[in-house]
Each structure stands twice: as C-alpha cells, then as structure tokens.
Amino acid sequence: DMGGHDTYMHKEIHEQAEAVDRVLRGRIDDRFSTVRLGGLNLDAREARQIRRVKILGCGTSYHAGMIGAQMIEELARIPADAEPASEFRYRNAVVDPDTLYVAVSQSGETYDVLAAVQELKRKGARVLGVVNVVGSAIAREADGGMYVHAGPEVCVVSTKCFTNTTVAFALLALHLGRTRDLSVSDGKRIIEGLRRLPGQIAEILEQEEEIRKLALQYAEARSMLFIGRVRGYPVAREASLKLKEVSYIHAEAYPASELKHGPLALIEPALPTVAIVPDDELLEKNRAALEEIKARSGPIMAVAHREQEKADHTIVVPKNENELDPILMGIPLQLLAYHTALALGRDIDKPRNLAKSVTVE
C-alpha cells in the first residue's frame, strides 16, 4: 500500500521524520546525558577498552557507515573507519581483538556482509550489527547491536533506512563518547540536536516543489559531479549513488579537497556539480572550491545552511549540531534523484539490474 504516493521511494522519503522519531524513542537518558542501548551487549568496561572501530557494509549502508565512523571518531575519540564489506572479505584483513567491528545492513541478509561477520566471529572478534530487519541473518550472527527501526523499506533503493542508520550511529557514538571522555554538556548538546531532527526533516521535505523544479532543470545532464569535504563527503557519495541508481545518469562523488588534483579538468558548462556546503569549520574552504568551479563555468547546485553566492541554486537546509548535519544534508538529494528519475520516466522502485537484497556472492 503506497498510501497515496506514486512510488514506494516517494512514500519512504516522506516517512523519514516519523522513522527518525522511532529510532530515538525510549533510548535517550537525560539524567546522564547519554543513550541506553540495551542490545549492544557491551558493558562500560568493555566499551572503554575499544581501541578502534571498523564499520563494514555495502552500498548505501557503507555510506551510512562512513558517516558513523566520523561521528564515533568525533564524539568518542576512538579511531574509526568504514570499508565495503565486499572488499574487507577478500584482503585477509588483520583481525584485532581490541577493535569493535560493526556490520551495517538494512536487510540483514547481504551475503558479503554476512560472510565478513562469520569470518570475524570465527577469528574471535566482537561484532555488532546495525540492522533494520528484525531477526535477519546478520542480526542473529552478531554478538549484539541495534535495530534502526525504519520500518519496512520496499523500494529497491534505500532512503529512510540510510537516514535511520546514520541516526543509530549518532546514538552509538554518543553512548561510546559518554562512556569515555565526552562531557555532559556535549552529551546534552547532541541530545538536543537529535531531538530537533524529525522537525527539521519535515522542513526539508516541504521544499519538494522547489527541488522538483531543479530536477527538471538538471535532468538533461549526461553526468554530474558531487563534492563534499569531511562530514560532507559521505553525503556526496550517497547522493551520487542515489542519482545513478534511479535516474541512470552517470554521477561521481569526489572530496572537494581533491578537485585540484584532477577532476577540475572535467569542469565545463555541461557538467553540473552538486556541492555539500555545511556551515562548519570548512565553510570557507568549500566556498573556495565553488569559486574554482564557477571560474570554469561549471553549473553549481549547493546544499547548504545559507544561500551560496557562487552557486546557481542553493537548497537551504536547517542547521543542526556540526556532528549531526550529515544526517540531514542528503535528504533533499533523495528528492532530487527521485524527481530526476520521474522526469526521465524510469522504473523508480525497481531500477534495472538491481535487487533489494544481494544474497549471493
């Protein structure tokens, strides 16, 4: 049942405020400015002994993991990174007993992720699952974890599960942070930020008509470049994936900081750039990148917290705490991908060549 929407993708994009509300529900502990995550099966002493966090997932879940790794590193000050589970499996990675491994999967059935979990477990590692489907293979195989409570996702491309997974990671980062050195006041600040998310998501979704018009304008592009820096980079990666999956337009994501090391050669009027420009420490750096692109007559669409002069169009999103901004900044670009695909007459809920869960090698 699509509840009045023309596709599941559209329905699921619009369910995100409610979905985020669900992943937060019952987990915030105001007394200690932290969150309670009963299913982790990780006591405080164990949480303090973690030396590294390694996040494994595929596709969109990998991108959510990239955002999660940054949040864990920022809030808990534990070195963290994300890697495609499909790559990790085949490189005989060093399995380290002081590393916390986190497997991310919407379906909980993705074979590459499951196989990575099984290999890790066989070698005695501790593995948590961040999963949407309750009771799925990865959830059962992991030592503990969190459900992201996004509700069923039917569209082959992931939207609300991505968002909820990034929020779940914010909770994990806050929990690990408050078990270690994150202050009470920072804990409070993050909790207040988390509570603002559902309302801010609703505000972003209200801009759909404006985003639809932008999509019509850019739908003729043969290729698009997505750029972002640090917190914005995984957002650019995910937006680029979403656009290619549903519209079949070629898209490439690049760190804005790397433009001058190659991709600037591509910039011309026929190549639009979508830039993620948060109002954070890197704002001036990002502005300089927009100038470089503008100087070469590249069209620019910015997703930012305020109007960007150098951009042809800015989608203004509400500001949250710096660490939580990545959760919100990709949401308008889900709508951009959707409306581009709609304009091009694509099979939005079932893009060619793709399946909802990849349970084979």
In the complex, minimum distance from the CB of residue 175 to ligand F6R, in angstroms, rounded to a whole number: 22
- Please list the helix, strand and coil fractions of the chain in percent, rounded to the nearest 5, in that order: 50, 15, 35
Tell me the CA distances in angstroms from 217 to 125, 190, 220, 271, 341, one per residue in order. Answer: 50, 37, 7, 13, 12
Q: How far is CA 330 from CA 153, 159, 195, 228, 283, in A?
A: 18, 10, 18, 11, 17
CB of 65 vs ligand F6R, minimal distance in Å: 10
| Contact with ligand F6R (CB under 6 A) among 7, 16, 33, 61 | 61
Q: Alpha helices of 206-231 — where are they, by DSSP H?
A: 208-218
357 lies in the binding site for ligand F6R (CB under 6 A):
yes
For the bound state, the minimum distance from the C-beta of residue 105 to ligand F6R, rounded and expressed in Å, comes to: 3
**Residue 94 DSSP code:** P
Shortest CB 282 distance to ligand F6R, Å: 27
| Closest alpha carbon to 304 in 216, 207, 209, 217 | 207
Q: How many residues bind ligand F6R (CB under 6 A)?
A: 15
Single out the segment in contact with ligand F6R by CB under 6 A; choices: 32-40, 52-60, 229-237, 284-292: 52-60
- Least distance CB 113 / ligand F6R (angstroms): 5
Q: Which of 7, 70, 99, 107 binds ligand F6R (CB under 6 A)?
A: 107
- The answer to whether the CB of 265 falls within 8 A of the CB of 359 is no
Q: Nearest 10 degrees: CA dihedral of 319, 320, 324, 329?
A: -30
Which of 202, 264, 283, 358 touches ligand F6R (CB under 6 A)?
358
Least distance from ligand F6R to the Cβ atom of residue 252, Å: 16
Candidate list 12, 83, 245, 349; residue touching ligand F6R; CB under 6 A: 245
Give dist(CA 31, CA 40) in Å, integer.
Answer: 20
Which residue from 55, 75, 76, 113 is in contact with ligand F6R, where contact means CB under 6 A?
113
As a whole number of angstroms, the distance between CA 195 and CA 146 comes to 19
Figure out which of the listed residues 55, 58, 205, 259 binds ligand F6R, where binding follows CB under 6 A. 58
Alpha helices for the chain (secondary structure H): 8-14, 16-24, 44-49, 59-76, 85-88, 111-122, 137-141, 160-179, 184-205, 208-218, 232-247, 283-295, 325-329, 331-343
Stretch that binds ligand F6R, among 54-62, 92-100, 141-149, 197-205 (CB under 6 A): 54-62
By CB under 6 A, the residues from 310 to 339 that bind ligand F6R are none
Buried b (16+ CB within 10 A) or exposed e, 322-352: ebbbbbbbbbbbbbbbbbbbbbeebebbbbe
Q: Which residue is catalytic, options 285, 294, 350, 356?
A: 356
CB of 245 to ligand F6R, least distance (A): 5
- Dihedrals phi, psi of 102, to nearest 5 degrees: -125, 120
DSSP-assigned letter for residue 234: H
Residue at shortest CB range from ligand F6R: 59
* Residues 124-163 as x/- pattern, contact with ligand F6R by CB under 6 A: ---------------------------------xx-----
According to DSSP, the residues that pair with 34 across neighbouring strands are 29
The verdict on 105 binding ligand F6R (CB under 6 A) reads: yes
Q: Is 54 an active-site residue?
A: no
Angle, helix 208-218 to helix 331-343, in steps of 10 degrees: 50
Q: Which is nearer to ligand F6R, 14 or 287 (CB)?
A: 14
Rg of the chain on CA atoms, in Å: 20
106 in contact with ligand F6R (CB under 6 A): yes
The answer to the question of residue 240 lying near ligand F6R (CB under 6 A) is no
Q: Mask: binding to ligand F6R, 14-43, rule CB under 6 A, as x and -?
A: ------------------------------
For ligand F6R, the binding residues (CB under 6 A) are 58-61, 105-107, 110, 113, 157-158, 241, 245, 357-358
Residues recognised as catalytic: 356
